[in-house]
């Protein structure tokens, strides 16, 4: 199974701290490097993580609050000056293209960069390996959540290949495509030698208040990366600013039957006391962790 690498470049909330930069996450899969949000200082975090920003293929913007996008102008300028040769796809919530246009008018851009801005909802990208979906979140600005969904694939049992003494030839490709083959004058049915490898789902949800539609969109995710800006005792503040408490995030994970919960977008009020956030979430959903800047997860 192809590895999925997730690099947490920034894990803080509106105001950065000594230990937490503004939010930004990089998902790497095969030849794709998908950046989710681009808070101030993101490209410096790339350097600290020994990652090349020119590897980015797509950028998913959740919404246009400063802590999620103020690193974007600098990043785009760096790409242009570094010989970025690909077409960069930038995805944003519906009805917000004017914000991107305004940002590009606020500074003098040097060089050339081939990029495309797309307002998205629902399924908006698909190839032979995976697809991307956008779903609405409940925030004070138009805001998207996103899901990376790997496609199910037929795999061939290595033990059966060996037992049938099948050669490594185009016949194996036919089997993976579900086609029966003839080998040594004997018909071999694809279903007798293949198995279905279930694709993985990773969902991102930040920033958002509590909304029931989120559960359906993150349902059965192998990994849910979600904000936990406040503790439950600050629920009134969370509601006012349309954010989540650690308990609410954990309840989403439990109700949506996700595999693992990763908490991020941590308020600076919990600097050096993040254990309180994690403890509250674990009471409801045991498979919860809280991440730090520059931490990486592979699965």
pLDDT tens-place string over residues 48-93: 999 999 999 999 999 999 999 999 999 999 999 999 999 999 999 9
pLDDT at 63: 98
Q: Does the pLDDT at position 165 exceed 70?
A: no
pLDDT at 162: 72
Which two three-digit tokens encode residue 21?
Answer: 């930069």
Q: Please check whether residues 85 and 164 belong to one and the same domain.
A: no
Cβ neighbours, 10 Å, residue 161? 15
Whole-Å CA distances, 74 to 13, 42, 43, 71, 80: 20, 9, 8, 6, 10
Cα separation of 69 and 142, whole Å? 14
Q: Please check whether residues 123 and 253 belong to one and the same domain.
A: yes
* Length of the chain, in residues: 299
Please identify which of the residues 37, 67, 207, 293 carries the catalytic annotation: 67
Per-range mean pLDDT, top range of 57-66, 152-161, 179-188 = 57-66
Q: Please check whether residues 28 and 176 belong to one and the same domain.
A: no
Summarised one tens digit per residue, pLDDT across range 221-276 is 999 999 999 999 999 999 999 999 999 999 999 999 999 999 999 999 999 999 99
**Domain around 15:** 4-150+199-298
Q: Please check whether residues 186 and 240 belong to one and the same domain.
A: no
Q: Does the pLDDT at position 120 exceed 90?
A: yes
Cα separation of 280 and 130, whole Å? 34
Q: Please check whether residues 184 and 215 belong to one and the same domain.
A: no
Output the average pLDDT for the chain.
93
Q: Count of domains in the chain?
A: 2
Q: Please check whether residues 42 and 178 belong to one and the same domain.
A: no
Cα separation of 283 and 136, whole Å? 28
Q: Please check whether residues 50 and 174 belong to one and the same domain.
A: no
Q: Which CATH number goes with the domain that contains 244?
A: 3.60.15.10
Q: Does the pLDDT at position 290 exceed 70?
A: yes
| Strand stretches in 4-75, DSSP E | 4-10, 24-29, 32-36, 58-60
Q: Please check whether residues 139 and 186 belong to one and the same domain.
A: no
Q: Does the pLDDT at position 160 exceed 90?
A: no
Which two three-digit tokens encode residue 161?
Answer: 């290949």
Q: Please check whether residues 33 and 180 belong to one and the same domain.
A: no
Q: Please check whether residues 179 and 203 belong to one and the same domain.
A: no
Cα separation of 130 and 146, whole Å? 13
Specify the pTM: 0.92
Which two three-digit tokens encode residue 159?
Answer: 């033990």
Q: Please check whether residues 73 and 172 belong to one and the same domain.
A: no
Q: In the annotation, is 275 catalytic? A: no
Q: Please check whether residues 225 and 177 belong to one and the same domain.
A: no
Among 195, 220, 252, identify where a domain stops.
195
Provide φ and ψ at 251, rounded to 5°: -65, -40
Q: Does the pLDDT at position 190 exceed 90?
A: no
Cα separation of 21 and 35, whole Å? 15
């Amino acid at each position: 199974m192809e590895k999925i690498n997730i690099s947490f470049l920034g894990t803080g909330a509106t105001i950065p701290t000594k230990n937490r930069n503004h939010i930004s996450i990089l998902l790497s899969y095969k030849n794709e490097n998908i950046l989710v949000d681009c808070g101030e200082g993101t490209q410096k975090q790339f350097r600290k993580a020994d990652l090349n920003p020119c590897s980015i293929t797509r950028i998913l913007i959740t919404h246009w609050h400063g802590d999620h996008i103020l690193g974007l102008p600098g990043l785009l300028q760096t790409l242009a000056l570094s010989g970025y040769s690909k077409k960069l796809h930038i995805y944003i919530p519906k009805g917000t293209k004017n914000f991107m246009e305004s940002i590009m008018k606020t500074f003098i851009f040097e060089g050339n960069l081939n990029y495309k801005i797309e307002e998205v909802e629902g399924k908006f990208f698909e190839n032979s390996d995976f697809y991307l979906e956008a779903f609405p979140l409940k925030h004070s600005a138009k805001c998207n959540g996103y899901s990376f969904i790997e496609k199910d694939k037929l795999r061939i049992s290595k033990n059966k290949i060996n037992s049938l003494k099948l050669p490594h030839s185009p016949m194996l490709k036919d089997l993976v495509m579900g086609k029966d083959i003839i080998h040594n004058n004997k018909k071999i049915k694809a279903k007798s030698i293949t198995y279905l490898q279930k694709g993985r789902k990773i969902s991102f949800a930040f920033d958002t208040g509590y909304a029931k539609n989120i559960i359906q969109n993150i349902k059965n995710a192998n990994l849910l990366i979600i904000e936990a800006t406040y503790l439950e005792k600050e629920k009134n503040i969370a509601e006012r600013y349309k954010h989540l408490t650690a308990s609410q995030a954990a309840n989403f994970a439990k109700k949506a039957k996700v595999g693992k919960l990763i908490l991020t977008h941590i308020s600076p009020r919990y600097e050096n006391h993040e254990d309180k956030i994690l403890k509250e979430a674990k009471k409801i959903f045991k498979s919860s962790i809280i991440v730090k800047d520059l931490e990486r997860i592979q699965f």
